[in-house]
Amino acid sequence: MKNLPTDLLRTFVTINQLGGFTPAGERLGRSQPAVSLQVKRLEELLGIQLFHRSSGLQLTEEGQLLLSYAQKMLDLNDTVVSRLGTPRVTGSVRLGIPNDFEVSFLATTLGRFSQAYPNVTLDVSSDISSTLLQDYHKGQYDLVMAIEESNLLQPRLVDYILEPLVWVRSNTLTLDPGEPLPLILYPKGCLYRKSILDALTKANLPWRIVYSSASLLGIQSAIKAGLGISVLAKSTVPEGLLASVTYEPCPTLGSVSVGFCYNNNDLSSAARMLLDYLKSGLNTL
């Protein structure tokens, strides 16, 4: 029976996450030729071809099947290593996270963390980022994941990535030329809301708010119902909705920073472990 080395599987998964051999090598600390050699070894072990090399990095049917199994195998491997290879961690962590990352990011990342550290209690709340950051400075959270403008001279967040903002709508929506753009927005204080209204005002485009909600489910439901258009970070768009950086007649909105706010000196061991998981999850978006 053949054994599949986890380092080969991790390289394969990382290539697919980052979209190329070179960025995968940078993440894993290997050269591009070394990454290529690992892919070749994996293909030889299985006797299959993983990529359609004539069309970029498109996975073959066998590659798609391996990807689904490889991620599960790596998750199990990482859980075992975390459970048995690190000191026993206990305690509780108060975490704040933006509404729209609650579904796309939180469930899988915290699920893996809870499996690795079952004795850590998580107290998780979601809200718009401005409220999360205010409450953090009032001492209500140990750690906050938040969104802020990407062009700040003195950013409040650390360990952040840049996420493009995209226009989101249903495939049944039809805009009436000359009519004000129907907007679906989070409440005042939301960075998405500010970005949308500032950009439309600057472009001299008329608009009207048809629906506003602090609930992620409410925003998604209104978009799916075809009530209007909205804006989200690219990685948070749910399946079944259309999303694009450009959408006529709307202006492009640029990017936002998605990262963390915490005091390194105040973090408990449990909070540090959770932060490591959150950073890892954020880097694979």
Query: Which residue bears the tokens 């394969």?
Result: 12
184 in a structural domain: yes
How many domains does the chain fold into?
3
Do 218 and 80 sit in the same domain of this protein? no
158 in a structural domain: no
Closest CA to 229 of 240, 238, 241, 217: 241
Do 49 and 180 sit in the same domain of this protein? no
The whole-number pLDDT of residue 55 equals 64
For residue 283, pLDDT over 80 is answered with no
Dihedral-angle region of residue 176 (phi above 0 means left; psi in -120 to 50 means alpha; beta otherwise) = beta
Do 175 and 228 sit in the same domain of this protein? yes
Residue numbers of the domain that contains 190: 163-257
Do 25 and 108 sit in the same domain of this protein? no
pLDDT in tens, 143-183: 999 999 998 888 889 988 899 999 999 999 988 888 999 99
Whole-angstrom distance, CA of residue 271 vs CA of residue 246: 39
Whole-angstrom distance, CA of residue 55 vs CA of residue 258: 32
The whole-number pLDDT of residue 107 equals 77
The pTM for the full model equals: 0.71
The CATH number of the domain where 69 resides is what? 1.10.10.10
The whole-number pLDDT of residue 87 equals 61
246 in a structural domain: yes
Do 81 and 98 sit in the same domain of this protein? no
| Extended strands (E) in 13-102 | 51-52, 58-59, 91-98
Query: What is the three-class DSSP state of 52?
Result: strand
The CATH number of the domain where 113 resides is what? 3.40.190.10
Query: Which residue bears the tokens 């998580």?
Result: 122
Q: How confident is the model at residue 84 (pLDDT cuts 50, 70, 90)?
A: confident
Per the CB < 8 A criterion, the answer to whether 157 and 223 are in contact is no
Closest CA to 231 of 266, 281, 264, 194: 194
Q: List CB contacts of 171: < 8 A, sequence separation 6 or more.
A: 241, 242
Which of the residue ranges 101-115, 198-212, 268-282 would you say has the lowest mean pLDDT? 101-115
Q: How confident is the model at residue 113 (pLDDT cuts 50, 70, 90)?
A: confident
| Extended strands (E) in the chain | 51-52, 58-59, 91-98, 120-127, 143-149, 158-169, 181-185, 207-212, 230-233, 242-244, 255-261
The whole-number pLDDT of residue 86 equals 60
Give the residue-averaged pLDDT of 13-24.
Answer: 84
pLDDT in tens, 199-222: 999 999 999 999 999 888 899 999
For residue 238, pLDDT over 90 is answered with no
155 in a structural domain: no
The whole-number pLDDT of residue 280 equals 81
Give the residue-averaged pLDDT of 31-36.
Answer: 88
The contacts found for 43-50 with CB under 8 angstroms, 24 or more apart, are 45/2, 45/4, 45/8, 46/2, 46/4, 50/12
13 in a structural domain: yes
